A and B are shown apart, each in its own frame.
Chain A
């Protein structure tokens, strides 16, 4: 990853190379600033007094720094505070991720290391599900869950994840491919069965892929909107996504400072994970897209 060369600049004289490097930094940094400006703008606005948000609009530095927006926003709506919404989102994200990643690891091991009849067929079926729009399956799922009386519970959100998710199964399989078969064979000769090969040998080795999957799963669950909006319509069960939708309803709200504060806050867990695990994310995306 790190050992790259800049092929063109190598042939340029020293001074032009220096100028080129400066120009490169100016362009890349300038464009990068434009890219993150909207996010910085929202974070900055969340610390501005309500009167300042739309008057001192483009500035990224609040004239009068205030935390009032956070205090006001946290009160939520309809007597339900954001404490509830955060608990709901964490429940969904935690159990959703745990279910998806655990089973995905087991299934990925089965697909990559155990030869069985029909393996290629089921593997193809699994890849096909990646292209399937959720809209095709969500209507029958909704009908079944509503007949079972499970609307307005978290079961419809978490149960479908217990079967693992195709994207993570594939990601983990890609990782397992890089682990030598000799390890399994040696363990098998030593009398290990497949289950102990998986738990004792494979699991520790594939932990980077599990971390990558867990982070993606957390992101997608945290930001998920379609399933919560279909299954949850009791405000006490709202996740952050649903709460923000109602909280920021343009026909109902005027306190944009509070909206920006709560929106910014909802992105904080995402960015903390991003900063902590950037390497895993970048490699996860790069490898799933490449080493086919």
Chain B
């Protein structure tokens, strides 16, 4: 569901600022308040909270939908961690993907945002061209296209041929297949780029002017003004990209189908197969909970580390 280019929500929830905190002179109006949020609240219980609890229960059972769930304790987890080689293949593929695609995508997004952060003419046209791949990026159509581009007879081989490089079976070679998916992800840097661009525009120009007068080089202006001033935005993009990176599904399903030799068998894809192709709902639920904990773990690490590298300029306020 979460498409790869999905922009999302700020790291600093509005709790505690003017919106959610109590506003003076306003009476509590519990009934009206709960009536307004009732649709979400009902949906939250029906489609999130109760399913989560059910999923946790299923993870300790063997369950094929046709028969009723049978309690097997920690067996699913033991099997997953000690006997299932494919499980570890999927973990390896997913980590390789997340730890290359996410940094590369953010670096590209920042580099292009800086290129576009000028008053040159035609910036909005360029911005549209760079963002276009991202709005269609999650679609099956683009995944199908990608498969043909990297096919043996595809565009990439046709181009490298011109330079005398022999053809490569990009999708069939275990050494290269995952990089076609990483490339596909990096190609869709549009959403973080737009967020970086908006962040760059908020950096006061006086800082750069002062630094230029002091004779700072472009590189030191970048490392000592741009990066610190942009760090809240980098933090936000990093969190969102890590979360969506772990959930990548459609692209692998269509472009490589997990082949060759499970090198692109992403976690979400393997989970899908366990759940909806072999109907091992218990095992798949156990996998889903491990996934949730891993995502929570990495998100927590980024949050914890943020006090060391994220710089908040507090003068804005409400």
Q: Which residues of B contact A260 (CB under 8 A)?
A: 145, 148
With beta carbons under 8 angstroms apart, the residue of B155, B195, B208, B276 that contacts A230 is B276
Q: Which residues of B contact A240 (CB under 8 A)?
A: 140-141
Q: Which residues of B contact A159 (CB under 8 A)?
A: 47
Q: Which residues of B contact A38 (CB under 8 A)?
A: 133, 145-146, 149, 155, 187
Inter-chain contact A5/B119, CB cutoff 8 Å = yes
With beta carbons under 8 angstroms apart, the residue of A32, A134, A162 that contacts B2 is A134
Inter-chain contact B36/A169, CB cutoff 8 Å = no
Inter-chain contact A42/B145, CB cutoff 8 Å = yes
B 95-132 binary contact with A (CB < 8 Å = 1; else 0): 00000000000000000100111111010101111111
Interface-located stretch among A64-72, A75-83, A241-249? A241-249
Total A-B pairs, Cβ < 8 A: 355
Inter-chain contact B249/A225, CB cutoff 8 Å = yes
CA distance A262 to B21 in the complex (A): 51
Restricting to A103-127, which residues have a CB under 8 Å from any CB of B? 103, 106-107, 109-112, 114-117, 119-120, 122-127
CA distance A225 to B201 in the complex (A): 36
Q: How many of chain A's residues touch chain B, expressed as a range?
A: 35 or more
Inter-chain contact A135/B276, CB cutoff 8 Å = no
Inter-chain contact A32/B288, CB cutoff 8 Å = no
With beta carbons under 8 angstroms apart, the residue of A25, A193, A285 that contacts B194 is A285
- Nearest neighbor of B137 in chain A, beta-carbon distance: A223
Is B263 part of the contact surface with A, judged by Cβ < 8 Å?
A: no
- Nearest neighbor of A275 in chain B, beta-carbon distance: B128
Inter-chain contact A288/B9, CB cutoff 8 Å = yes
Inter-chain contact B48/A132, CB cutoff 8 Å = yes
Restricting to A229-267, which residues have a CB under 8 Å from any CB of B? 229-230, 240-242, 244-245, 248, 250, 256, 259-260, 262-264, 266-267
- Which DSSP category, helix, strand, loop or mixed, fits chain B's interface? helix
For the complex formed, measure the closest distance between the CB of A263 and the CB atoms of chain B, giving whole angstroms: 4
Is B18 part of the contact surface with A, judged by Cβ < 8 Å?
A: yes
Restricting to B154-200, which residues have a CB under 8 Å from any CB of A? 154-155, 158-159, 187, 191, 194-195, 197-199
For the complex formed, measure the closest distance between the CB of A179 and the CB atoms of chain B, giving whole angstroms: 11
Inter-chain contact B14/A173, CB cutoff 8 Å = yes
CA distance A6 to B120 in the complex (A): 9
Is B23 part of the contact surface with A, judged by Cβ < 8 Å?
A: yes
Inter-chain contact B9/A170, CB cutoff 8 Å = yes
CA distance A260 to B155 in the complex (A): 14
CA distance A164 to B115 in the complex (A): 37
Inter-chain contact A139/B199, CB cutoff 8 Å = no
Is B20 part of the contact surface with A, judged by Cβ < 8 Å?
A: yes
- Nearest neighbor of A286 in chain B, beta-carbon distance: B198
With beta carbons under 8 angstroms apart, the residue of B46, B159, B236 that contacts A163 is B46
For the complex formed, measure the closest distance between the CB of B162 and the CB atoms of chain A, giving whole angstroms: 8
Is A274 part of the contact surface with B, judged by Cβ < 8 Å?
A: yes
CA distance A167 to B29 in the complex (A): 25
CA distance A240 to B124 in the complex (A): 30
Q: Which residues of B contact A122 (CB under 8 A)?
A: 37, 40-41, 44
Inter-chain contact A131/B295, CB cutoff 8 Å = yes
Is A58 part of the contact surface with B, judged by Cβ < 8 Å?
A: yes
Restricting to B9-23, which residues have a CB under 8 Å from any CB of A? 9-16, 18-23
- Nearest neighbor of B159 in chain A, beta-carbon distance: A58
Is A276 part of the contact surface with B, judged by Cβ < 8 Å?
A: no
Taking A135-B268, A244-B144 as contacts, is the C-beta distance between A117 and B233 under 8 angstroms?
no
Inter-chain contact A120/B15, CB cutoff 8 Å = yes
Is B72 part of the contact surface with A, judged by Cβ < 8 Å?
A: no
Inter-chain contact B132/A36, CB cutoff 8 Å = yes
With beta carbons under 8 angstroms apart, the residue of A39, A123, A135, A225 that contacts B15 is A123
Q: Which residues of A contact B54 (CB under 8 A)?
A: 140, 143
Inter-chain contact B119/A107, CB cutoff 8 Å = no
Is A150 part of the contact surface with B, judged by Cβ < 8 Å?
A: no
For the complex formed, measure the closest distance between the CB of B149 and the CB atoms of chain A, giving whole angstroms: 6
Inter-chain contact B19/A289, CB cutoff 8 Å = no
- Nearest neighbor of A109 in chain B, beta-carbon distance: B36
With beta carbons under 8 angstroms apart, the residue of B51, B129, B237 that contacts A36 is B129
Is A63 part of the contact surface with B, judged by Cβ < 8 Å?
A: no
B 50-71 binary contact with A (CB < 8 Å = 1; else 0): 1110110010000001000000
Q: Could you jot down 23 A-B contacts, CB within 8 Å?
A: A4-B117, A7-B208, A21-B120, A24-B115, A35-B132, A42-B141, A115-B27, A116-B29, A119-B33, A120-B16, A124-B15, A127-B13, A131-B299, A133-B247, A134-B2, A160-B43, A162-B39, A163-B40, A227-B1, A242-B140, A244-B140, A289-B7, A292-B12
A-B CB proximity, top 4 nearest: A163-B43, A110-B36, A116-B33, A292-B10
Chain B residues within CB distance 8 Å of chain A: 1-3, 6-16, 18-23, 26-30, 32-37, 39-44, 46-48, 50-52, 54-55, 58, 65, 112, 115-120, 122, 124, 126-133, 135-136, 138-142, 144-149, 153-155, 158-159, 187, 191, 194-195, 197-199, 201-202, 205, 208-209, 212, 218, 232-233, 236-237, 243, 246-247, 249-250, 253-254, 268, 271-272, 275-276, 281, 284-285, 287-289, 291-292, 295-296, 299
Chain A residues within CB distance 8 Å of chain B: 1, 4-9, 11, 21, 24-25, 27-29, 31-33, 35-36, 38-39, 41-42, 54, 57-58, 103, 106-107, 109-112, 114-117, 119-120, 122-127, 129-144, 146, 159-160, 162-164, 166-167, 169-171, 173-174, 176-177, 181, 193-194, 198, 219-220, 222-227, 229-230, 240-242, 244-245, 248, 250, 256, 259-260, 262-264, 266-267, 270-271, 274, 278, 281-282, 284-292
